[in-house]
Amino acid sequence: MELELESILLPGIEDKRPIVISGPCSAETEEQVMETAKQLASKGIKIFRAGIWKPRTKPGGFEGIGVEGLVWLKRVKKELGMYVATEVATAQHVREALAFDVDILWIGARTSANPFAVQEIADALEGVDIPVLIKNPVNPDLELWIGAIQRIYNAGIKRIGAIHRGFSSFDKKIYRNLPQWHIPMELHRRIPNMPIICDPSHIGGKRELIAPISQQAMDLAFDGLIIESHCNPDKAWSDASQQITPEVLECILDTLVIRDEKQSTENLTQLRKQIDELDNDILETLAKRMRVCEEIGVYKKEHNLSVLQTARYDELLQDRIAQSLSLGLSEDFLKTLFVAIHEESVRHQMEIMNK
């Protein structure tokens, strides 16, 4: 999809991976905001995040400080020279954030999942030029994520980025939100010129996962990281278990290995050529296999045999899967592959039967 986007980089932000946005889950008190921002600024962080309005799963929790916190963000801008970013979930939030000169807006995961809410925000953004970052919806629905991006784009916003914060699931064994990396990767394939920022804090849900998830994001060529930090993480009013001190953040950023997406060496070109040739062989072999299936289809029709021969199919599937170990391929992969091949064979034979 071709979107005519402009860079989300604000003046003075270096065009270098990763773009880093950090700050507390929520603005709690003026002291907490100023102290966290001061420590972050001293570590070279240029974009400060803080939630002013907090969508909480259950009532009774801290739902954000509201407009009062915008005054503190303005102080962060003025006294520390940082850019500030916050989440907006309604048209009123947009108006208030803009009135207080917030530099970057983001749309949270619960909001991205609701087209009415996104449209309301989009309408409030008509005629405004500000970077907007759109988190993935809580459910793993790429089209819904793209739909939210399109609504904001159609409102005339050109500086758009996506935030990958993982997807809700019942299973919370390792991650708070499953990364399902293939979804942001597919988003990148569909809208290649849109930067994607990873949110390891909300994916991991715990401090110790922030470093490995950030590294994975860099290995997958993400453009940036949004990481929750707090001057006193254990005392945070929301998401305490996933917040880190600015000092730990610095340490994590220093140890990240940043690999280059674009540079390709001579060796890589050679290997890619081999891959292209092998893929061609696979496709030719598959086409040949389908021709044989069609001959079988003709035979079955002439002899009044059913297309689906369950026993034969089962035997074939077991045999191919059994080869997985010696081929160094996973059972799951071989199963998916042969189920798909069989489905296509059945489709070809059905056409012959119904001719």
Residues in contact with ligand PEP by CB under 6 A are 25, 51, 87, 108-110, 135, 165, 202
| Per-residue x/- track, 188-227, Mn ion (CB under 5 A) | ----------------------------------------
The residue type at 139: N
- Report in angstroms how near the CB of residue 25 gets to ligand PEP at its nearest: 5
Q: Which range in 67-75, 234-242, 246-254, 258-266 contacts Mn ion by CB under 5 A?
A: 234-242
- Report in angstroms how near the CB of residue 321 gets to Mn ion at its nearest: 43
d(CA 103, CA 133): 11
Give SS3 for 160.
strand
Closer Cβ to ligand PEP, 108 or 246, answer by number: 108
Q: Please identify which residue in the block is written with the tokens 């945070």.
A: 236
Neighbours of 165 (CB within 10 A): 25
Give SS3 for 232.
coil
Closer Cβ to Mn ion, 146 or 217, answer by number: 217
- Report in angstroms how near the CB of residue 195 gets to ligand PEP at its nearest: 17
Closer Cβ to Mn ion, 25 or 104, answer by number: 25
Identify whether 233 is preceded by a cis peptide bond (ω within 30 of 0).
Answer: no
Closer Cβ to ligand PEP, 110 or 335, answer by number: 110
135 binds, among ligand PEP, Mn ion, none (CB under 5 to 8 A by kind): ligand PEP
Q: Locate all alpha helices (DSSP H) within the chain, ordered by sequence.
A: 30-42, 67-80, 91-99, 109-112, 115-125, 142-154, 182-190, 200-204, 210-219, 246-255, 266-302, 310-322, 324-327, 331-353
- Contact set for Mn ion, span 237-256 (CB under 5 A): 239
DSSP state letter for 111: H
- Report in angstroms how near the CB of residue 350 gets to ligand PEP at its nearest: 45
Contacts of 87 (CB under 8 A, 6+ apart): 51, 52, 53, 54, 93, 105, 106, 107, 108
Q: Which range in 126-134, 169-177, 235-243, 337-345 contacts Mn ion by CB under 5 A?
A: 235-243
**Backbone torsion region of residue 151, taken as left when φ is above 0, otherwise alpha when ψ lies between -120 and 50, otherwise beta:** alpha
Closer Cβ to Mn ion, 184 or 204, answer by number: 204
108 binds, among Mn ion, ligand PEP, none (CB under 5 to 8 A by kind): ligand PEP
Closer Cβ to ligand PEP, 155 or 203, answer by number: 203
- Report in angstroms how near the CB of residue 236 gets to Mn ion at its nearest: 9
Closer Cβ to ligand PEP, 51 or 184, answer by number: 51
Closer Cβ to ligand PEP, 107 or 253, answer by number: 107
| CB closest to ligand PEP, residue no | 108
d(CA 297, CA 317): 19
- Report in angstroms how near the CB of residue 56 gets to ligand PEP at its nearest: 9
- Quick one: which of 25, 88, 122, 209 contacts Mn ion (CB under 5 A)? 25
321 binds, among ligand PEP, Mn ion, none (CB under 5 to 8 A by kind): none
Neighbours of 85 (CB within 10 A): 23
d(CA 86, CA 163): 13
Closer Cβ to ligand PEP, 151 or 165, answer by number: 165
209 binds, among Mn ion, ligand PEP, none (CB under 5 to 8 A by kind): none
Contacts of 343 (CB under 8 A, 6+ apart): none
**Backbone torsion region of residue 81, taken as left when φ is above 0, otherwise alpha when ψ lies between -120 and 50, otherwise beta:** left
Q: Could you tell me the two tokens for 28?
A: 């709690």
Identify whether 179 is preceded by a cis peptide bond (ω within 30 of 0).
Answer: no
Nearest CA to 203 among 171, 172, 179?
Answer: 179
109 binds, among Mn ion, ligand PEP, none (CB under 5 to 8 A by kind): ligand PEP
- Report in angstroms how near the CB of residue 255 gets to ligand PEP at its nearest: 24
Task: Please report, as ranges, the residues that interact with Mn ion according to CB under 5 A.
Answer: 25, 239
